[in-house]
A and B are shown apart, each in its own frame.
Chain A
Amino acid sequence: MRQSFALGIGGAAGQGVATPGDIFAKIFSRRGLHLNAYNAYQSIIRGGHTFLTIRTGADNISNMGDHLDLLIPLNQDTMDRHLSLLTSGGACLYNSDSIKPGAAAAGVQLCPVPVSQLADITKNKIAQNTLAIGAALSMMGVGFAALEQVLAEQFRKKEQKVIDENVNLARAGYEYASEHFKPFAWPLPMTDARYAVLSGNAAMAMGGAAAGVKFYSAYPMSPSTGVLHWMAEHARKADIMVRQVEDEIGVINMAIGAAHAGVRAMSATSGGGFALMSEGLGLAAQAEIPIVVIDCQRAGPSTGVPTKTEQGDLWQMLGAAFGDYPRVIAAPLDIADCFKLIPEIFNVADKFQCPGIVLCDLLLAEGRLSVDPKELDFFPPIDRGELITSNGDAHEPYKRYKITESGVSPRAIPGIPGFTHVVSSDEHDEDGVLISDEYTNTHKRRAMMEKRMRKMDGIAAAVPPPQLLGPAVADVTLIGWGSTYGVIDEACELLLDHGITANYLPIRWLVPLHGDAILDLLKSAKHTIIVENNYSGQFARYLRSETSFVPNGHIRKYDGEPFMPHHIVEAVKEQLAGKTNLSVPTHEVMV
């Protein structure tokens, strides 16, 4: 069982939950600790309930975990919702002037802070936040100097007076806690490691920059907008054309125009925005123009729950743009993978001149995770495929869609003399002439379809099959795709404490799926369960359609919140006991 410390800060939107979160994240990561931050918030302008969970430790942290050690409610509502979940050893730090605790479990330390005695609350409306940060760090065993430094940075754009005020306030909270509250039994460790803290959105944007993306178009849509923000902020430094445009249809069509001009083009959106891009994706497929589109999935259908996570768009991707065409679809496994996947998928899209789709989700996109910079390759191998960029050699009349054995036709970049051609959304001949223009030749149509689909053989060879992780033989095998990777990994560890051995199969590449390889990996599995964040078991259906494989059971969570490890552990136990073969965990608290 990995050692970790988790704190939860909650309040109404606008109360200032984010800033304390940032401050804690900085301090933890500077101590050489791993951290995971998950913010549960509402699609609301002010009010409601925002709850940020930060979990940290010296060991690898991959998800928000199962419990809180410290609860910092900034309003009564948060106290009411979360206090009952604290277990023995945990503590609750709160403003005793305005918040009253309810019943807490035995062994929970209540830490009332008399804010009005320690600060002039008429001048400083968020005094309770700053006091709480100081108090919390004292209880965690962190030296005050670390906080002082971070506060100076946080408020560096303000006058020195403001910085001093906040530092003094934090110190007052720190000292009050030292005198009045018991420190945590497990003081926060320190290591020499140095981690970066990244959101999935930032990681994907950076991955794009590393992959040589030169054109990024987007329309703001939660939870993908962070990619646009990073791209826009770094456009000049990274030499990328970044455009926010009128709608998602404009987004994908511009990306296609830019890609046809010869640059790597990318965009990120969510399910609804992707729905608008579907037709454009077909243009990229038919004209064989490579582009990469990222879908940061959120709870659907339609506007759905804009700030909650789900893995509900798999079938949209599989059915996108109607018709049969080669493409590649992948779901990053964690936030570091959000970075790594982008150059990889671009290489496949470029080499095989097809669309590449990244199925991310809100959990990764807006979550934050510590990443070892050494893991990230900022100069990944770049394969642009068979491009014709010069007219140097004598050549026969150019055929953009020449029938080849591999199905890949060398692609001339517009502007090169002697290679003029028309690409089209219509079915076409080898030289780009629409087949409908003359006689809709059945042989030509068939040949062109087979040429394009032949590319899937090359794509399958270029993409690795999945791997089974954990012990080769286990009581239960958990199968998941994309972002459930981290929580399933931890659930397997916890299952061992319950005397159940577990291994797991994380799926990263959805198309090509490598169904045969999967069947081979699962053939000796004793009990298989597919874990996913959607109602209908979209991956389970897809796997069955590709391989006829039916698992023993399913664990599906579709309440908008991600899995916690115990959800999976409890579900596995009830399924192995034969109580059910479909477990639907519910989140313990309304967030």
Chain B
Amino acid sequence: MATEAIAPKTLTMKDFKGRVDPDWCPGCGDFGVLAAVQKALVELQIPNHEVMTISGIGCSSNFPGFIETYGMHTLHGRSLAVATGMKMANHAMTVLVTGGDGDGFGIGGNHFMHTMRRNVDLTYIVMDNQIYGLTTGQTSPTSRLGMKTKSMPFGSVEAPINPISLALAAGATFVARAFSGDQKHRVALSTRPSNTRASPSSMSSAPASPTTTTTPSSGSVRA
């Protein structure tokens, strides 16, 4: 039985509103990213059944539940692997991958490097707030040197990675960084890779406000 064609209608933000409202903390930058992605899909008029949103585990990985598309809420660090399999099996889906800095650059680091060099046609949006938020505040691979968290209360002694240069070194063909508070820029970035099909694209969104504010101790930490 073939799929019946649907009479085209103009998609609006309402079409992409998820079944559940996000439970992110007030002021979290993830709200801005969600809105930007929805706006981008509206701008591009991609039907929601042609979009697959795939995440790992974490605050920002709750994303697929908050947007009305096909979605997969997978395992910590493994979203890019699942997304690659999905895209290879069905080229027609527009594949969006969402997650945080711990999910993407910590446990997901290996898949991140390989997915970039593989140049799969997908869009990877990392909501980087330099912390493991869902588990209430541990150091992440992008946490500043000296940043104090619950897991490193004396300050991180490890230098953070630079996701942008890592992506470039791994061979990613579209790499961008935005600030979640800057809606226009975010939407523009979200629509660009879909238009140009330059892939994989990796975008890093800095938080609207940091979730933890720490200052390095006065005796500077040596990495």
Contact = CB atoms under 8 A, between A and B. Distances in A.
Given A250-B111, A253-B81, A391-B4, A422 B73 contact: yes
Chain A interface residue bracket vs B: 35 or more
Interface string A392-407: 1000000000000000
A214 B88 CA distance: 10
Contacts of A438: 20
B168 interface: no
B1 A389 contact: yes
A420 B85 contact: no
Nearest to B114: A246
B25 interface: no
B89 to A, nearest CB: 4
A438 B1 CA distance: 37
Contact of A414 (B52, B62, B110): B52
A434 B90 contact: no
Interface in B86-106: 86-90, 92-93
Contact of A434 (B1, B6, B65, B72): B65
Interface string A235-264: 000000101011101100111111111110
A200 B4 CA distance: 44
Nearest to B18: A422
Contacts of B52: 414
A215 B71 contact: no
Nearest to A246: B114
Interface of B is mostly: mixed
B23 A437 contact: yes
B148 interface: no
Contact of A415 (B1, B50, B111): B50
Given A253-B82, A255-B85, A391-B3, A279 B49 contact: no
B172 interface: no
Interface stretch (A155-163, A424-432, A569-577): A424-432
B211 interface: no
Contacts of B78: 249-250, 253, 280, 283
Nearest to A215: B89
B19 A433 contact: yes
A258 B87 CA distance: 8
A236 to B, nearest CB: 15
Interface string B51-62: 011100100001
A507 to B, nearest CB: 32
Interface string A410-428: 0000111111111111100
B64 A392 contact: no
A104 to B, nearest CB: 56
A265 interface: yes
B72 A424 contact: yes
B4 A392 contact: yes
A411 to B, nearest CB: 12
A215 B49 contact: no
Contact of A416 (B3, B64, B75, B82): B3
Contact of A419 (B23, B49, B83): B49
B138 interface: no
A415 B72 contact: no
B48 to A, nearest CB: 6
B74 interface: yes
Contact of B48 (A245, A254, A280, A420): A420
A56 to B, nearest CB: 43
Interface in B38-54: 47-50, 52-54
Interface in A267-314: 279-280, 283, 287
B179 interface: no
A187 B140 CA distance: 72
A217 interface: yes
A194 to B, nearest CB: 38
Contacts of B92: 415
Contacts of A389: 1, 3
Contacts of B65: 422, 424, 433-434, 437
B1 to A, nearest CB: 4
Nearest to A417: B49
Contacts of B84: 250, 254, 257
B107 to A, nearest CB: 9
B196 to A, nearest CB: 23
Given A258-B85, A258-B89, A390-B2, A418 B72 contact: no
B119 interface: no
Nearest to B5: A417
A258 B88 contact: yes
Contacts of A425: 57, 73-75
Interface of A: 214-215, 217, 241, 243, 245-247, 249-250, 253-263, 265, 279-280, 283, 287, 389-392, 414-426, 431-434, 437-438
Given A422-B65, A424-B65, 19 more contacts: A245-B81, A246-B111, A253-B81, A253-B85, A253-B111, A257-B85, A261-B85, A261-B93, A265-B89, A283-B78, A389-B1, A390-B1, A414-B90, A419-B49, A424-B64, A425-B73, A431-B19, A433-B19, A433-B20
Of all A-B residue pairs in the complex, the 8 with the closest CB atoms, nearest first, are A257-B85, A254-B85, A422-B71, A253-B81, A261-B89, A424-B73, A257-B86, A258-B89
